[in-house]
């Protein structure tokens, strides 16, 4: 039996409990909703991160030779450091046909295309053609070992801060861009390059 006091009846007590439930229930419900919202947000961030990783991994492990896309825009005035520690800029090569190749030592298709790039470079270097290999974030010692392993003789620049990705608007490796003698980007690749496509698309630009 509920004890009563003057001015405080059992009905008053029940009404008070009801008001208390009405006051506390929304607060608890709000906390639950907040926790659910936070959980959904964390899941969304996780899915986005995994999607990005999967995209880069799938690009880095694909050995499918891709056809270049024809474009026409000014080459970025990218400046980086070469293997000797000297500052180099794309503008230094105005008047030549430049193949900019973005690569990394851990990237399988980058490794697959390197002998082809070296052979093509040796064939056309005397015709005003140059390849500039932009290494994407590897340690300098690893890059040197890679260059020695593949016998690369074209210029290699180090990009420890990934500034070339921003300059060319790509996060995919390998990626390649053909800059004509006037400084315009004319072709761009995402993926490995084969000799047949280099001869078909780049050689005519060199011979212009």
Ranges of H-type helices in the chain: 10-61, 108-124, 140-150, 163-168, 195-197, 203-207
Query: What DSSP designation does 106 have?
Result: T
Report which of 128, 129, 72 is spatially closest to residue 100, judged by C-alpha positions.
129
Alpha carbons 168 and 109: distance in angstroms, whole number: 19
pLDDT at 5 > cutoff 80: no
pLDDT of res. 43:
56
Mean pLDDT of the chain: 81
Give residues with Cβ within 8 angstroms of 175, minimum separation 6: 101, 102, 168, 188, 189, 190
- The answer to which of 33-37, 122-126, 201-205 has the lowest mean pLDDT is 33-37
Q: Taking residues 165-170, what's their average pLDDT?
A: 95
pTM of the predicted model, to two decimals? 0.70
65-207: CATH topology is Glutaredoxin (3.40.30)
Q: Is the pLDDT of residue 58 over 80?
A: no
- Kindly indicate the confidence band of residue 2, based on its pLDDT and cuts at 50, 70 and 90: very low
Rounded to whole angstroms, how far apart are CA atoms 119 and 82? 21
Q: What is the pLDDT of residue 66?
A: 79
Share of the chain above pLDDT 90, in %: 67
């Amino acid at each position: 039996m509920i004890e009563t006091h003057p001015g405080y009846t059992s009905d008053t007590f029940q009404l008070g409990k009801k008001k208390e439930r009405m006051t506390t229930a929304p607060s608890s419900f709000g906390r639950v909703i907040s926790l659910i919202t936070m959980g959904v947000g964390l899941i969304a961030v996780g899915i986005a991160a995994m999607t990005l990783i999967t995209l880069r991994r799938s690009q880095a492990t694909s050995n499918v030779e891709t056809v270049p896309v024809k474009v026409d825009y000014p080459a970025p005035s990218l400046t980086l450091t070469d293997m000797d520690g000297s500052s180099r800029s794309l503008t230094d090569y105005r008047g030549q046909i430049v193949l900019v190749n973005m690569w990394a030592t851990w990237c399988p298709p980058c490794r697959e295309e390197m002998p082809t790039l070296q052979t093509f470079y040796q064939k056309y270097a005397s015709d005003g053609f140059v390849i500039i290999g932009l290494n994407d974030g590897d340690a300098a010692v690893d890059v040197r070992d890679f260059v020695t392993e593949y016998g690369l003789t074209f210029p290699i620049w180090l990009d420890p801060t990934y500034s070339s990705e921003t300059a060319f608007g790509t996060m995919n490796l390998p990626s390649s861009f053909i800059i004509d003698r006037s400084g315009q980007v004319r072709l761009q690749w995402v993926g490995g390059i084969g000799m047949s496509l280099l001869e078909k698309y780049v050689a005519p630009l060199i011979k212009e």
